[in-house]
Amino acid sequence: MSDVLKAPTSAQLLLASLQRHTSRPAITVAGQSWTYAQIDTFSDRLAGYLAGLGVGPGVAVAVHLRNSCEYVVAEFAILKLAAIRVPLNELMGVPELGYCLEHSGAQILITNADLPKATGLQNEPFTILVDAEPGKPIAANHAHWSDATAEQIAFEPQTADADDTAIIAYTGGTTGRPKGVRHSYGRMAWNLFSHINCLDIRSEEVMLLTTPLPHSSGYHMVAAFLQGAHVVIEGRFDPERFFELCRDVDVTWTMMVPTMLYRLLDHPAAGSADHRSLSTIVYGAAPINRERLEEGLRKFGKVFLQIYGQTECPNLITTLSKEGHTSPDLLASCGRAVPLVELRLRPDESGAGEVEVRSPYLLTEYFRDPVATQEALRDGWLRTGDLARLEDGYLFLVDRAKDMIISGGMNVYSTEVESVLREHPSVREAAVVGIPHPDWGEAVTAVVIAAEGSNPEEIRQFAKARLSAYKAPKSVHFIAEMPLTQYGKIDKRTIRALMVEAAGTLQG
């Protein structure tokens, strides 16, 4: 206990929860439930197998899985070996997947057998396949999940130091390559405390998660585990299923992006007794439609809690509390800094400023990228790249300095999409912006200068085939020449205004 008090780590805290809450239900997936004791047993088996492969502190294990029991078991097995978890979204495109595996140096990959596979890797990781067809031959450096968890193999549990790397989480970058955000075991302990404190996560919670666990949901999930709560995991979001689970298992807490909230509001069960157990709806990750938020408050009541964060400062920089949602003047705000975060603005000529934050759970660095680290971290402060106003302690976001687009709650960096568009033989120049969309928050929209006779839909399909689905442009528009700033750079503000006007004309 003295070690925990001196330098707590996420591994110590979460592994202790497995022992503390043995008989309580930990997760339910597709109607099947597992207790904390069962998760402990299954993760012991996987940890023993991984230890036999040389996994331990400093060894990266990539987890490329759909939302599932296997994802949870893998996470706890990695904790027991004090290894590095590399969470990879199932929606990743093949080139991005390959880059993340190579860049992280992952020695082990745990993945669903039917998910896309990276090819041409210089260092092929040993791969554990979930749901592979029984009896079907697999490569020599592959194994079935069932074999990896079939029996208990004795292993020596490893203890993580606070400075040991716990996670390398990949986020889009302005260079077009994902950046590996390195988090330590000690800093993730503080992040756990912040989630519990700021997001009303209680021991009796029934938490419903329907978004990919490698992103925000995964941080909410482990905070629930620390409390001994029950987490219901779905592979995807479906409004009908959402209300069914609210009725059947008395869901109390959930997290969603605005697009999902809109789908709920359009369902006949919204505002009914079907969701009477629901006491907390956490939302964030994308701009939200003010009118629809007000509709949500009328139908669901005082249950909404907004979060603003980044992969570099997971989930929690500011929150707009449930009480804050009762003030109409604050509905455009993302709230106040949470207790473990200091916040300040670097002013610019517009009267807004770039948001800078300091916290005990900031990233330690961008993995293998000292230049990006130096640019983002200055004297312990993270430059977020977001522009905002600060009024009476409340943060109002006004723009994203790094041209990041948030579509359906997923981060899309315009430079990555532009690079792919420029690969098309007919495209001379490309610019990508996000324009407001009633469902997606922002729609990825491309403007290109193309050869005569080109087809915009053909160019869009070209990009779609080379990008993760959520990054592909929703539309491609031709333009004779790009508007430029006085410094000779493409003027994206003008392009965005033109596209917003064009969208309004089409809708009108």
The domain segmentation of the chain, as residue ranges, is: 32-183, 189-362+372-400, 404-507
Q: Could you tell me the pTM of the whole model? A: 0.84
Residue with tokens 């948001």: 355
- Structure-token pair, residue 242: 């959402």
Region 32-183: CATH code: 3.40.50.980
Encode pLDDT of 361-388 as tens digits.
Answer: 999 999 999 999 999 999 999 999 888 8
* Non-local CB neighbours of 281 within 8 Å, separated by 6+ positions: 254, 255, 256, 261, 296, 300, 303, 304, 305
Q: Let me know if domain 404-507 sits in CATH 3.30.300.30.
A: yes
**Are residues 115 and 92 in contact, defined by beta-carbon separation less than 8 angstroms?**
no
Distance CA 144, CA 387 (A): 47
Residue 159 confidence (pLDDT) above 70: yes
Helices (H), 266-413: 290-300, 370-376
* Side-chain half-sphere CA neighbours of 239 within 13 A: 12
- Residue 91 confidence (pLDDT): 83
Residue 6 confidence (pLDDT) above 50: yes
Phi/psi of residue 209, nearest 5 degrees: -120, 125
Residue 348 confidence (pLDDT) above 70: no
Which helix (DSSP H) or strand (DSSP E) does residue 499 occupy?
A: helix 492-507
DSSP state of 484: B
- Residue 173 confidence (pLDDT): 45
Tell me what percent of the residues of the chain surpass a pLDDT of 70: 94
* Non-local CB neighbours of 455 within 8 Å, separated by 6+ positions: none
**Are residues 166 and 85 in contact, defined by beta-carbon separation less than 8 angstroms?**
yes
Q: Which CATH class is domain 189-362+372-400?
A: alpha beta
Tell me the pLDDT band of 276, cut-offs 50, 70 and 90.
Answer: very high
- Residue 350 confidence (pLDDT): 56
- Residue 411 confidence (pLDDT): 75
Mean pLDDT of the residues in the chain: 92
| Beta strand segments in 108-148, E | 108-112, 126-130, 142-144
| Beta strand segments in 163-271, E | 165-171, 179-184, 206-209, 230-233, 253-256
Residue 488 confidence (pLDDT) above 70: no
- Structure-token pair, residue 409: 């709650």
In this structure, is the dihedral angle defined by the CA atoms of residues 30, 32, 36 and 37, taken in order, positive or negative? negative
Residue 112 confidence (pLDDT) above 90: yes
Residue 128 confidence (pLDDT) above 90: yes
Which range is least confidently modeled, 44-48, 98-102, 173-177, 425-429? 173-177
- Structure-token pair, residue 304: 């909404």
**Are residues 243 and 254 in contact, defined by beta-carbon separation less than 8 angstroms?**
no
Distance CA 224, CA 25 (A): 12
Distance CA 431, CA 398 (A): 21
32-183 matches 404-507 in fold = no
Strand partners, 443: 435
Distance CA 332, CA 431 (A): 28
